[in-house]
Amino acid sequence: MKLHTLLLASALGLVAGSAMAQAMDDPQQAQFGPKLTRAEVQADLEIYRESGLLDLDRGESVDTESPRYQAALKRYNERRASTQYVALLHSFEAKNGEKVAAAKQPDAATTSNQ
């Protein structure tokens, strides 16, 4: 009787474990959002640098309410939504040998004040 109970418990454990594993597709993607291509990251970083946000974000604490930060954020958002971003994206896609895709619009999280 004990062997039968042990086998049944083991079988139920395996079934439950595999069902739980299938339910968790990609926890990192769910946590961090959609995957970006290398070219998308490179183009966004270039815009980030050019806008001045990189220099302002280097300190220990960032004053997101300061006029300088707000001006840099505005420049970033304008460039990120412009054809300049699309051109950078296509340039990096060509350099990286990636398939040229339609440019994605910035996420609300990227463009909103923090």
- Tell me the domain boundaries of the chain: 1-34, 36-114
* Per-residue pLDDT tens over the stretch 63-114: 999 999 999 999 999 999 999 999 999 999 999 898 765 545 555 444 554 4
Instruction: Give the H/E segment covering residue 41.
Output: helix 38-51
Residue-level pLDDT at 33: 73
User: pLDDT band for position 5 (50/70/90)?
Assistant: low
| Whether 59 contacts 30, CB under 8 Å | no
Distance of alpha carbon 49 from its chain centroid, rounded? 17
Query: What are the distances in angstroms from CA 83 to CA 4, 33, 34, 45, 80?
Result: 68, 24, 22, 15, 8
Residues in contact with 109: Cβ distance below 8 Å, sequence separation at least 6, in sequence order: 33
70 vs 23: which has the higher pLDDT: 70
59 vs 53: which has the higher pLDDT: 53
Q: Which long-range contacts (CB under 8 A, 24 or more apart) does 1-9 make?
A: none
Across the chain, where does the E strand assignment appear?
Answer: none
